[in-house]
Amino acid sequence: MTNFMIAYYGGNQPSSKEEGMAQMNKWKAWVKGLGETIVNPGTPLPVSKIVTSSSVEDDNDPNSMKGFAVVKAESIEAAIEIAKSDPFLENGGTIRVSQMMEMK
């Protein structure tokens, strides 16, 4: 099986603590349901900077990458099916699925 990164972009912040807890509970149930296919259940990225050869700037783009998870799947199509079930999509965000290649 191959590892695939599920990268999270955009999405709406919860409007209340209760909504945030409900989203977290959906996410926890999703991760639990993935069983052995989950490699990294999620890594939030709360602060980002844009670095170029001449500058460093705050990443204020509302559609910037918000975090990622890593799953094992037989193919990118199978990884896409996993991503399509991710509750993050219910929050107005988008997901990019990328095959990961191990460098040796």
| CATH code for the domain in which residue 6 is found | 3.30.70.1060
- In total, how many domains does the chain have? 1
Above 90 in pLDDT, residue 70? yes
Domain coverage including residue 10 = 2-96
Per-residue pLDDT band for 98 (boundaries 50, 70, 90) equals very high
Please report whether residue 102 resides in a domain.
Answer: no
State whether residue 64 is helix, strand or coil: coil
Interval 30-58: pLDDT, tens: 999 999 999 999 999 999 999 999 999 99
Please report whether residue 103 resides in a domain.
Answer: no
Please report whether residue 101 resides in a domain.
Answer: no
Please report whether residue 19 resides in a domain.
Answer: yes
The 10 Å Cβ neighbour count of residue 60 is: 8
Q: How far apart are the first and last CA of the chain?
A: 17
As beta bridge partners, residue 94 has 9
Above 90 in pLDDT, residue 104? no
Mean pLDDT, rounded, of the chain: 95
The 10 Å Cβ neighbour count of residue 35 is: 7
pLDDT for 102 equals 86
How many whole angstroms separate alpha carbon 56 and alpha carbon 48? 10
How many whole angstroms separate alpha carbon 41 and alpha carbon 31? 6
